[in-house]
Structure 1
Amino acid sequence: MTDTHEVTVRSVHQMTPTVKQFVLESDGHRFDFAPGQHTHVRFDRAESPAEDDAESGDDEVVRPYTSTATPGTERITLAIKRYPDGTASTWMHEREPGDTVEIEELGGNLYLRDLDADAAFVATGTGATPMIAMAKQYVREGTGRAHFFFGEKDEEHVFYRETLDQLAADYPDFEVTYVLSEADDDWEGPEGHVQDHLDDYLDDLGSWDFYVCGVPQMVVETQDYLAEQGVSDSRVYVEGWEGDEVSDDSEE
């Protein structure tokens, strides 16, 4: 039986037009986990105004979300994008300070493996949430170089940009690159798919560890591209379910 905890919503912050940040606090439980790992939010389907036909027969909704805060305190922080028909994201976006939420202990496959290796974080959308936590850890404890690649459709939807830019300003061995797929005429940075720009910024791809999270198609394409470039599978880390999503041609 998975351990669960009842946490209280302490604050809610609108980060972008579609993403809210939630600070959740337990009553005495300290969250110990590796930065990059995720929890699961659980609630009764009857509480949600949205419908998900694929799971309409289930009484309970369970969805994974990653803490962008570092471990060791009674608080975790979740950045959640609301999808028009998203059962869990709609329910979470209606939470207010003082509300309670049931969550599981944190776990998962995304966490830093080697703090002495150069690390590339490749993310799209809210797939950046585990990368934020890992980047914070890397600049404190890592001994190599780190490069954060963040793909979004436009500047308005890039969240945690101030945090990333501050890390880049404070740590000479940390760089960040934003790649926009629907950039306006004023954008001077790279455009298109984030995975298409790795070779533009990284020398000797095979010497880097890659942590990849985001839209399943991007994750799979990044894995395929890195394999073609001779990067060992043992240096590419993902959650592990993305290939099934692409094979099933399904969407979350």
Structure 2
Amino acid sequence: MTLSVTVADVHRMTPDVKQFRLVADDHGFEFDPGQHTAVHFEADGEEQSRPYTAINAPGTNQLVLAIKRYDDGTGSVYMHDRTPGDEIEIDPVEGNLHLRDPDRDALFVATGTGITPLYPMVRQYASEGTGRGKLIFGERDQEHLIFRESLDQLRAGTDAVSVEYVLSDAADDAAWNGKTGHVQDHLLETFEELDDLERVDCYVCGVPEMVVETRDLLEDAGADEDRIFTEGWEADAAAED
């Protein structure tokens, strides 16, 4: 069963990412940070849907989605054409990515828009976690780092969570003095910092190949495979490429 919501406002976050605030009449959204809804739309004469993560806190009549536009992406193109006042149909909020145990150490690994479910989870961990949390976030360049200002404020205001950025296209960026390459290149040093991976909950989201490779690296380094959490479809997607 879908729910009708109204686009209240639209805000550009990066050159290719927009934030949409959706409001429902007489409906409160209850969910775990990190879970997603699905937007329904018509394309090529067929009903389709695409999942997008709610990045706001639960318990209100609103959902906030951060959506990257892909030129060949039917769902993202549809959403980027929405304007305030438009009505759209969405599914209830659900999904496999949510914080399991705030009393365990936590590692969050994201690339690109894979940050959208992990961002609210990191905020929740910073508020409720009793262990150590670390986010490694990979992007092309500084301009495309979604939530950077919020994440910088979060890590400046707490010792509970550390945040590291890894840029894959920063060779000519004289203003960048952080890590470069891919997030997988820097995982081994992170594992050493975390000491005992068996005591760490690992949350991974991003392009399928990164998710699959990161899971393998985690398991090889001693992480409990039952404490590595992803959306669950990445292995099949990576095998198709």
Q: Deviations over 1:148-206 (max 9, x none)?
A: 11100000000111111111111112110000000123311111111221232332233
Once the 2 structures are TM-superposed, how far is the Cα of residue 109 of structure 1 from its aligned partner?
A: 0.5
1:180 maps onto 2:178 in alignment: no
Give the Cα separation in 2 of the matches to 1:187 and 1:243: 33
Q: 1 CA distance for matches of 2:2 and 2:161?
A: 36
| Higher alpha-carbon deviation: 190-199 or 24-33 | 190-199
Q: Distance in 2 between matches of 1:119 and 1:70?
A: 20
Give the structure 1 partner of residue 119 of structure 2. Answer: 132
- Please state how far the C-alpha of 1:80 moved relative to its aligned partner: 0.3
Return the alpha-carbon distance in structure 1 between the equivalents of residues 183 and 9 of structure 2. Answer: 32
Alignment map for 1:82-97 (pairs within 5 Å): 82-97=69-84
Structure 2 counterpart of 1:203: 194
Secondary structure at the counterpart of residue 109 of structure 1:
coil
| Deviation for aligned residue 1:234 | 1.2
Shift of 1:140: 1.5
Quote the Cα distance in structure 2 between the aligned partners of 1:230 and 1:112: 21
Task: Please point out which of 161, 182, 187 is paired with 1:193.
Answer: 182
- How much is the aligned-residue C-alpha RMSD, in angstroms? 1.1
Return the letter of the residue paired with 1:43.
F
8 Å CA contact 2:129, 2:160 repeated in 1: no
Q: 2:26 aligns with which of 25, 28, 31?
A: 28
* 8 Å contact from structure 1 (residues 23, 78) kept in 2: yes
Report the Cα distance in structure 1 between the residues aligned to 2:116 and 2:87, rounded to whole angstroms.
22
2:61 to 68, 71, 74: 74
Structure 2 counterparts to residues 115-126 of structure 1, below 5 A: 115-126=102-113
8 Å contact from structure 2 (residues 20, 64) kept in 1:
yes
Aligned counterpart for 1:107 among listed residues 88, 94, 112: 94
Whole-angstrom CA distance in 1 between matches of 2:199 and 2:153: 26
Identity of aligned residues (%): 55
Amino acid at match of 1:192: G
Matched, 1:153 2:140: yes
Distance 1:30 1:189 in 2: 41
8 A Cα contact 1:122 1:195, kept in partner = no
- Runs of 4+, deviation exceeding 4 Å: none
Q: Tell me by how many angstroms 1:85 deviates.
A: 1.0
The 1-side partners of 2:184 and 2:229 are apart by: 15
User: Residue 155 of structure 2: SS of its match in structure 1?
Assistant: helix
Unaligned runs of at least 5 residues, structure 2:
none
Aligned equivalents of 1:247, 1:114: Cα separation in 2: 31
1:108 alignment partner AA: G
User: Under a length normalisation based on structure 2, what TM-score does the superposition of the two structures give?
Assistant: 0.95
User: Secondary structure of 2:179's partner?
Assistant: coil
- Kindly indicate whether residue 208 of structure 2 is the aligned counterpart of residue 216 of structure 1: yes
Q: Distance in 1 between matches of 2:228 and 2:130?
A: 19
- 3-state SS of the aligned residue for 2:194? coil
- State TM-score, norm by structure 1: 0.91
Q: Which has the larger displacement, 187-196 or 89-98? A: 187-196
Count of residues paired in the alignment: 236
Q: CA deviation at 1:135?
A: 1.1
Question: Which of 215, 231, 247 is residue 239 of structure 2 equivalent to?
Answer: 247
SS state of the match for residue 60, structure 2? coil
Other-structure match for 2:36: 38
- In the alignment, the residues of structure 2 paired with residue 124 and residue 245 of structure 1 have an alpha-carbon distance, to the nearest angstrom, of 16
Counterpart Cα distance in 1 of 2:95 and 2:216:
22
Residues 24-55 of structure 1 deviation map (CA, whole Å, 9 limit, x = unaligned): 11011000011100000001115xxxxxxxxx
Secondary structure at 2:75's aligned position in 1?
helix
**1:192-238, CA deviations, whole angstroms, 9 ceiling, x for partnerless residues?**
11122123233223332110001000000000111111111011100
Corresponding letter in the other structure for 1:7: V
